[in-house]
Structure 1
């Protein structure tokens, strides 16, 4: 009887879900060579090729796709069992705060893993702006927060970074009009920096909305009545990144930072570690399981 090793199965699932060996290694906090060796041992145990390496891009074979279904169930069952048997160590409630534009796709994945490990810990997710979340943390109203900033403040830890992009309606022309019509929430942390870059570039602008509601801002932009700025990975399908060919100033890079991870709560450290791993694995282009990058 051949027994499947859960460590190798976990690495296999990570490669499939993260889009390749490099990002899987980051998510598991392992080296790339360690993950590659685990995949090789799994293939040798089963006597099957699980990955098609004939092309530049790695793809799951038919056997690999079949195994993935079982591997996910086995890993989830293992995590559930461990969580149930050790949940007396971890119990209580945590409040995690994050801006709405950095929640997907990492935060839901992390919360799912965390719940399997600590089923008796209730995690409350609070979505707000970075400025409001920082203030809530100072008042002790949240335990752990994510923010988007040009640089981390005191006590902050950068998890990853991504470009800030000008966004407008699909096929929109509002970015070509003068003065430039802008749509930003009153408490948007990007607002001051964007206005400063426009002023430095000598571009006249007008604010087209006065609101604290992100949905109102999105609606105005999607109607091609104004432009705004969003993180590259958070542009919704009804909007698109503007290719201005230099007509608008480059908005630079924003950092996704984490605050509150230095708490003495051990369970909070578990959640913080999962967020670190999740955002480390999210760097780079996302691939689907059928076409995995090496």
Structure 2
């Protein structure tokens, strides 16, 4: 359990009323520290009769005297000495809990979703800079397949979503073309015999459907040799020569793959960003994310 949760439960128990009421403990500790009811009352901004009553309530709850009132200066009894250390720790925990509850850092969740390859170091740096400017915001990022993310965004699960699609919906914040092409391993060549082995995303993946449509138009025989929801795994499978795959051109830089002459380029997909709000903090983050996408896909 997180430390804050423990402290909250502790404070709730204290609020329920017990011998460890922090007000009574604070009066007890202050009397001990000051050695005087009068001085303790002044420091706690209360009357001497009030602080005496609070100590009396604590002693009634414990069932024993905690302060030797006859001594000058007053001092703790044996029972009071045993309670004193615990009282100080309880008061310290209360102060820490109040401090944590007063801190708004990370108390406002902003839910963002995108395909795995959109969560680039540049995009994450935008999140980091935004979170540093707005300490109250916690950015919760989900990655996944575009069709599923679109469905969940429309269902209200996310504040901002970046998806890949054949064409942008009318309510998009911004949209950018993404060139796509067929790739095979650079080491094993690009020619495959029938049936063609394909490296694909799971059912519902955008590129998977486009692959099957193209293969069917070409009247070629095919089978799925490898499936993964991870773009990096798909790229690794193509590098290893497991089969052909339809991939975003921009994701293949530095990978041991090359375009297949059998199929080549396909009409581009689009990368679109959607947001439920155009203003406020959500609108601010959406605009900054759009800037990263523009630089990547338009070179702007």
**TM-score computed with the length of structure 1 as normaliser:** 0.58
CA distance in 2, matches of 1:218, 1:193: 17
CA distance in 1, matches of 2:229, 2:290: 30
Give the number of the structure whose alpha-carbon radius of gyration is greater: 2
Kindly report which structure 2 residues correspond to 1:247-266, keeping only aligned pairs within 5 A, or say none.
Answer: 247-259=262-274, 261-263=275-277, 266=280
For structure 2, the residue ranges without an aligned partner over 5 or more in a row are 1-102
In the alignment, which residue of structure 1 is the partner of 2:286?
272
> Structure 1 residues 130 and 147, CA, compared in 2 at 3 Å: closer, same or farther?
same
CA distance in 1, matches of 2:260, 2:228: 27
In the alignment, which residue of structure 2 is the partner of 1:281?
295
Give, in angstroms, the shift of residue 131 of structure 1.
Answer: 1.0
CA distance in 2, matches of 1:211, 1:279: 25
Give, in angstroms, the shift of residue 98 of structure 1.
Answer: 0.6
In the alignment, which residue of structure 1 is the partner of 2:151?
135
Kindly report which structure 2 residues correspond to 1:31-46, keeping only aligned pairs within 5 A, or say none.
Answer: none
Aligned residues: 197
2:224 to 207, 222, 226: 207
SS at 1:147's partner residue? strand
Contact kept? 2:131, 2:137, Cα under 8 Å = yes
Give, in angstroms, the shift of residue 266 of structure 1.
Answer: 1.2
Give, in angstroms, the shift of residue 166 of structure 1.
Answer: 1.5
Give, in angstroms, the shift of residue 237 of structure 1.
Answer: 3.7
**TM-score computed with the length of structure 2 as normaliser:** 0.57
CA distance in 1, matches of 2:248, 2:184: 13
SS at 1:202's partner residue? coil
RMSD: 2.9
CA distance in 2, matches of 1:281, 1:221: 27
Q: Which has the higher contact order (CA 8 A, sep 6+)?
A: 1
SS at 1:141's partner residue? coil
Contact kept? 2:181, 2:264, Cα under 8 Å = no
Partner deviation per Cα, 1:62-120 (whole Å, 9 max, x = no partner):
xxxxxxxxxxxxxxxxxxxxxxxxx98x9611111010122225422321332233232
Contact kept? 1:198, 1:249, Cα under 8 Å = no
Give, in angstroms, the shift of residue 284 of structure 1.
Answer: 4.9
